[in-house]
Amino acid sequence: MLNPIMRLLKALMRNKSLEELTVEACIQRGMKVGENCHGLTSSTIDYAHCWLIEIGDNVTFAPQVYLLAHDASTKRELDYTKIAKIKIDDNVFIGARALIMPGVTIGKKSIVAAGSIVTKSVPEGSVVGGNPARVLAKTEEYLEKHRYNMAKSKIYDDSWTIGQNITPAMCNEMSKDLDNGLGYVK
């Protein structure tokens, strides 16, 4: 009975993709991660070149961000893969399913929109989005727009979140409130 189980476990281990390796394993291999980073465990990190990735303090990753320090598009014809560092400075937000390519630096206090493909460095204090990502606004302009919107929008404290056990009645109320607009939740 033990032999079939061991064979199954070995087969599963062989099929483990590089995407499934942990953040801790990448740090052990040389990836640098600052303090107070959130969401990195739901990202896909280029384990094969993770030591080329540097992440600053107070960085937030939304789900399914990709950090690729290599680009194998040259491999077939040139027999070599392009590699370069990725540097993410302090106080950066990276939206869901964004792809950060090799050679990119994301400047301090920047925001990368969801679904963006970042192929060039992002200036400090910029909001970027698109494929390829381009500067859409300055971070401060973007935040000022939302401060203005918050003054005339419905605001919800953290009791309106799953983490604080939002009730079904509160869910319905929020849904009705937002039928014709947007709101902000803590």
pLDDT by position in tens, the chain (length 186)? 556 665 555 555 555 554 456 898 999 999 999 999 999 999 999 999 999 999 999 999 999 999 999 999 999 999 999 999 999 999 999 999 999 999 999 999 999 999 999 999 999 999 999 999 999 999 999 999 999 999 999 999 999 999 999 999 999 999 999 998 999 999
Domain that holds residue 97: 8-137
Structural domain includes residue 112? yes
CATH number at residue 111: 2.160.10.10
For residue 90, what are the CA distances in angstroms to 34, 59, 111, 118, 157?
8, 6, 11, 17, 27
Instruction: Specify the pairing of strand 70-71 against strand 82-83.
Output: antiparallel
Q: With respect to residue 161, please indicate whether it lies within any of the assigned structural domains.
A: no
Residue 51, pLDDT score: 98
pLDDT at site 19 = 46
Q: What are phi and psi of 24, to 5 degrees?
A: -60, -40
Residue 155: inside a domain: no
For residue 168, is it within any domain?
no
Return the active site residues. Answer: 70
> Cα dihedral angle (25, 27, 28, 31), rounded to 10 degrees?
120
Please tell me the distance from the alpha carbon of residue 10 to that of residue 137, in angstroms, as a whole number.
50
pTM of the model: 0.85
Residue 22 has a pLDDT of 84
120 domain-assigned? yes
Residue 53 is assigned to a structural domain of this protein: yes
If one counts the domains in the chain, the total is: 1
Structural domain contains residue 160: no
The answer to the question of residue 111 being in a domain is: yes
Measured distance CA(112)–CA(122) in Å, rounded: 9
